[in-house]
A = this chain, B = another copy of it.
């Protein structure tokens, strides 16, 4: 259960754009250098963000990218959705524009998919987490943590302390 690296890179890119003033555009090369990411790959990533209307671009020399909206107005579910294409815990959640959710097994007859309840709850949890986080928060977080001092007692963001990795 993992987001692809497109999500990772794309979010980093958005944060980086959020740190810049939107006066003049930021080039991909600058971001690639700052984050140590492959430029050619970033191009593919940022294309998704552009098509989703989250960033704008200018071509030519001194061109680059900037946020289409202020970071406070950008919820992270939009960003992740643009990057990943879908936010679903299971591929049987691919549903057409209607409300029908069909599962690969138990195709239509018989009982409803027993796992559906579970995956819907998980999906709800994920989407809620993303919706309630704005890009501005991440920008702020990254500003606080840049190489000045050790982390202040970070107000625990609802991450349970239970052992996340059981051997």
A residues in contact (CB < 8 Å) with B: 1-4, 7-8, 11-12, 15, 35-37, 76, 80-81, 84, 86-96, 102, 104-107, 109-112, 114-115, 117-133, 137-139, 141-142, 145-147, 151-152, 157-162, 164-167
| Nearest residue, chain B, Cβ from A96 | B167
CA distance A152 to B146 in the complex (A): 53
**Could you list 5 further interchain pairs (A-B, Cβ under 8 angstroms) beyond the known A2-B91, A117-B141, A126-B126?**
A12-B114, A35-B106, A95-B164, A114-B138, A114-B145
| Nearest residue, chain B, Cβ from A150 | B110
CA distance A118 to B3 in the complex (A): 12
A121 touches B138 (CB 8 A): no
B8 touches A159 (CB 8 A): no
Known: A84-B1, A86-B164, A92-B165. A8 touches B115 (CB 8 A): yes
**Nearest CB of chain B from residue A97's CB, rounded to whole Å:** 8
CA distance A124 to B158 in the complex (A): 6
